[in-house]
Amino acid sequence: MELANIDFDVADFSAGEYAARLDRIRTAMEVAGIDVLVISDPSNKAWASGYDGWSFYVHQAVVIGPDGPPVWWGRQMDAAGALRTVWMEPSHIESYPDIYVQNPDKHPMETLGLLLSARGWAKGRVGVEMDNYYYSARAHAVLSALLQEPPVDATGLVNWCRAVKSPAELERLRRAARIVGAMHKRILDVARPGLAKNALVAEILHAGAMGTEGHWGDYPAIVPMTPSGLDATAPHLTWNDRPMDRDEPHFFEIAGVFRRYHCPLSRTLFFREPPAKYRRAEAAVQAATEAALEQARPGNSCEDIANSFNGTLQRHGFEKDSRCGYSIGLSYPPDWGERTMSLRRGDKTVLQPGMVFHFMPALWLDDGGIEITESIVVTENGAQCLCDLPRELFVTG
């Protein structure tokens, strides 16, 4: 494949990196018996092509054929953004007119079908990401009608190709880790009883966008989750304007992001000495985390980490019935996980150096929650935490 004439200053990854990614995808396509792959997941599109834009609310794709560079396909006005961000030459950027956007009488997939036919790809076995946020039932129906045989499900094919990070990707993750560390330090600087939660979130978002050490911060795939008190008995709640209470626990599940690479990190804050049960929970989580991360080494499995964590947690009198982690890396909304590996019983995926996880040993109690998490990279010598923030309950004010 000829990549030598492409300007890689925009994409910031080398020609060799993109060539290796494409080879990895095509190897997986061959194993799956797929001739042409239509990628709709924004994270997968960015990984394969470099495309970066908030345009995934309309239909777009990166198409990988049997040979040659990928083809970016999307809305006509977004083709200019593709020219600015993808590594492919302009001949590999295709677009459809605006009349196809949110028009009940037309559908963009009609133009994708024509594109596949024009390139001689409609006759082959076409793979699509059927269980993806951005590939709709109607899109599938329209595209299927234009192909000689129904498309096959290729959900997760590219996601799994992304599982082992390159040195360049790990550097982005380390920069994201330093950003999330700065975000948590900002929380400790400004959080106080009586401060409205939305005012604190404004500080979190500001710190995230400003970045640290000369590296700017990108937007996160998930907004800050910052519940307090009884709201903290549940995961995935965001914020309101209620003043922070001295007598409640407050946890912060946030991510630092550098050029779309996410490093999530959670910590829990008290404005007074935490109740005894929270100290017991803290000790249990710390012990279980140490035991679990000891298993995060090449040759072990995701299940080994989970079993060690759960066994240690139970010996300390606590239980967690959900997974305790998942793979992370490059992401777009609505999720910063890669939707492949999970740290839970039954996931026998073998760990390799370069895999990266958000280890998430959260506990939700009857009157609040405790989140003390770590983002880790698997190395030849075991787990390495990306952040250096103390692994403990924070007490301030």
Which pair of structure tokens corresponds to residue 155? Answer: 């959900």
Domain spanning 167-395, CATH class? alpha beta
pLDDT digits (tens, 9 = 90+) for 91-143: 999 999 999 999 999 999 999 999 999 999 998 999 999 999 999 999 999 99
Q: In the prediction, which pLDDT does 192 show? A: 97
Report how far residue 338's alpha carbon sits from residue 127's, in angstroms, rounded to the nearest whole number: 19
What pLDDT score was predicted for residue 104? Answer: 95
pLDDT by residue (tens digit) across 177-200? 999 999 999 999 999 999 999 999
Average pLDDT over residues 240-249: 96
Q: What local confidence, expressed as pLDDT, does residue 75 receive?
A: 98
May I ask the CATH architecture of the domain 15-161?
A: 3-Layer(aba) Sandwich (3.40)
Mean pLDDT of 159-173: 97
pLDDT-derived band at 215 (thresholds 50, 70, 90) equals very high
pTM over cut 0.85 = yes
Indicate the residue type of 277: K
Sorted by where each begins, the domain ranges of the chain are 15-161, 167-395
State the CB neighbour count (10 A cutoff) for residue 230: 12
- Note the pLDDT of residue 191: 98
> Prior bond to 275 cis, omega within 30?
no
Q: Would you call 57 exposed, middle or buried from its count of C-beta atoms within 10 A (0-12, 13-18, 19+)? A: exposed
CA distances to 203, 297, 311, 347 from 304, rounded to whole Å, are: 38, 10, 11, 9
Give the per-residue pLDDT at 12.
Answer: 78
Q: Model confidence over 341-364: pLDDT tens digits?
A: 999 999 999 999 999 999 999 998
pLDDT, tens digit, 9 for 90 and up, residues 300-352: 999 999 999 999 999 999 999 899 999 999 999 999 999 999 999 999 999 99
